Amino acid sequence: MGKALIIGAGGVASVVIHKCCQNPDIFEEICIASRTVEKCEAIKAKLDGGKTRIQTAQVDADNTEMLIELINKFKPDIVINVALPYQDLTIMDACLATGVHYLDTANYEPPEIPKFEYKWQWAYRERFEKAGIMALLGSGFDPGVTSVFCAYAQKHYFDEIHYIDIVDANAGDHGYPFATNFNPEINIREITAPGSYWENGGWVETEPLELKKVYDLPEIGQKDIYLLHHEEIESLAVNIKGIKRIRFWMTFSEKYLTHLRVLENVGMTSIEPIEFEGKKIIPLQFLKAVLPDPASLGPRTKGKTNIGCIIQGVKDGKPRTYYVYNVCVHEECYAEVGSQAISYTTGVPAMIGAMMMLKGLWMKPGVFNVEEFDPDPFMEALNKYGLPWKEDFSPTLLD
């Protein structure tokens, strides 16, 4: 059916590539491209010989001209961006220049400002529409599946949704004293930034990790959850009818937070360059280099994740509550694709989003978030391709 250029060769990219190769009727040919071509070759070596044809290429995703050259050479139908969020705009520029559809899993963030906002990518709407191509933003799990969950609830169960609490819980154990489950630089920037939530038409800001609750999650039990800013809040506030409040919560163990506080106190989480042995280095990037690579955590990680949306609203004039969630098992993910569940839960929806576009189920010119499309085929695909979801119509609510 089509060709996909996959930019990135980390843990999430590996899952995307595995899942594309499981669907060769859709993904007839792929090209894996990264700054480090050896990583691309290593993934190809695991999967070569199947029905999906695989190429590799070296590319600097910060270099638009280099991206344009690669796109013109490979001639993909879609570019799947699973590189760094800093590189979203250069890749979108390359797609515009070549007339190719675009998909990512996380919104753009400037390297020098730890702030996730869609405004930079939403500014491309008119240009993509005029070019007759589509950009699908945030087709991971959160953002991504969580937004599709909300669109599904809006379509099937509510006349108006008033409150959404997104809860992302990882009860897995990798055995290290301290490690991050996805890119350490992005993860730590996200956690140490101020929190915020959307309420009554505006943003309410909090100190980092200021708001904490305890929630009993299906299959993993009671966990400490902390309020964070997260990008899907911004788009859901625009696209969900009647919304009054949206919050995002994530679990962290006390051990994890203690390590993080120490690193923060000694300056290791800073993104301000410092002088070291005659050259400028960024402490957080140095920390990333010494921490375990998230892609290496797969064989070590045991346990489950639970990610979902607790929703309150009205139907036929009556109050209604709804909880939709996925539970993913780290060991099962590793057995299937060689990655832990954090990478799996992001990579599978990226493949599904690309599939929706290539099939024409989600396709129109412009720049869109996932909740702007019919959620039903995506929800069906989640069940089919490894992320089955469950429903609860009388959940415990977060006050």
Ordered DSSP codes for 320-370: EEEEEEEEEEHHHHHHHHSS-HHHHHHHHHHHHHHHHHHTTSS--SEEEEG
Is the per-residue pLDDT at 114 higher than 70? no
| Residue-wise pLDDT tens digits, 346-395 | 999 999 999 999 999 999 999 999 999 999 999 999 999 999 999 999 99
Confidence of residue 399 (pLDDT cuts 50, 70, 90): confident
pTM for the full model? 0.93
Q: What is the per-residue burial (b if ≥16 Cβ within 10 Å, else e) of 198-237?
A: beeeeeeeeebbeeeeebebeebeebbbbbbbbbbbbbbb
Q: Which of 329, 362, 388 is the last residue of a domain?
A: 329
Cβ contact 147:123 at 8 Å: no
How confident is the model at residue 60, as a pLDDT?
97
Whether residue 237 is contained in a domain is answered as yes
Q: Are residues 153 and 104 in the same domain?
A: no
Whether residue 311 is contained in a domain is answered as yes
Would you give the distance in Å from CA 219 to the centre of its chain? 23
Least confident of 83-97, 154-168, 181-195, 290-304: 181-195
Q: Are residues 65 and 84 in the same domain?
A: yes
Q: Are residues 125 and 199 in the same domain?
A: no
CA distance 240 to 299: 39
Whether residue 368 is contained in a domain is answered as no
Q: What is residue 103's three-state secondary structure?
A: strand
Is the per-residue pLDDT at 295 higher than 80? no
* Of residues 106, 10, 54, 27, the one with CA closest to residue 339: 10
Q: Are residues 316 and 179 in the same domain?
A: yes
Whether residue 175 is contained in a domain is answered as yes
Report the pLDDT averaged over residues 165-179: 90
Could you tell me which residue, 281 or 191, shows the higher pLDDT? 281
* Of residues 2, 3, 12, the one with CA closest to residue 43: 12
Q: Which residues have C-beta within 8 Å of that of residue 374, sequence separation ≥ 6?
A: 155, 361, 362
CATH number, residue 15:
3.40.50.720
Q: Which of 83, 105, 137 is the last residue of a domain?
A: 137
Least confident of 83-87, 165-169, 389-393: 83-87
The token duo for 392 is: 């609860």
**With pLDDT > 70 as the criterion, what percentage of the chain qualifies?**
99
Confidence of residue 165 (pLDDT cuts 50, 70, 90): very high
Query: What residue has token string 């929806």?
Result: 349
Confidence of residue 6 (pLDDT cuts 50, 70, 90): very high
Q: Are residues 292 and 182 in the same domain?
A: yes
Least confident of 40-54, 177-191, 325-339, 345-359: 177-191
Segments forming the whole domain that contains residue 64: 2-137
Other Cβ atoms closer than 10 A to 250: 21
| Residue-wise pLDDT tens digits, 27-73 | 999 999 999 999 999 999 999 999 999 999 999 999 999 999 999 99
Cβ contact 373:362 at 8 Å: yes
Whether residue 270 is contained in a domain is answered as yes
Is the per-residue pLDDT at 304 higher than 90? yes
Q: Are residues 167 and 39 in the same domain?
A: no
Burial of 349 (0-12, 13-18, 19+ CB in 10 A): buried
Query: What residue has token string 């909090």?
Result: 206
CA distance 51 to 23: 9
How confident is the model at residue 187, as a pLDDT?
77
Q: Are residues 168 and 128 in the same domain?
A: no
Domain total of the chain: 2
Cβ contact 135:128 at 8 Å: yes
CATH number, residue 288:
3.30.360.10
* Of residues 344, 134, 137, the one with CA closest to residue 231: 137
Q: Are residues 111 and 254 in the same domain?
A: no
Least confident of 16-25, 111-120, 200-209, 228-237: 111-120
Q: Which of 292, 313, 329 is the last residue of a domain?
A: 329
Q: Are residues 169 and 92 in the same domain?
A: no
Phi, psi of 33 (to 5 degrees): -130, 135
Could you tell me which residue, 112 or 216, shows the higher pLDDT? 216
Q: Are residues 175 and 318 in the same domain?
A: yes
Q: Are residues 122 and 68 in the same domain?
A: yes
Is the per-residue pLDDT at 183 higher than 80? no
CA distance 347 to 341: 10
Distances (CA, A) of 254 to 46, 157, 166, 261, 290: 38, 37, 21, 10, 22
CA quadruple 292, 181, 5, 382: dihedral sign? positive
Is the per-residue pLDDT at 180 higher than 90? no
How confident is the model at residue 127, as a pLDDT?
98
Whether residue 352 is contained in a domain is answered as no
Whether residue 370 is contained in a domain is answered as no
CA distance 105 to 110: 16
CA distance 118 to 249: 20
Q: Are residues 59 and 183 in the same domain?
A: no
| Residue-wise pLDDT tens digits, 207-240 | 999 999 999 999 999 999 999 999 999 999 999 9
Mean pLDDT, the chain, rounded, equals 94
Whether residue 96 is contained in a domain is answered as yes
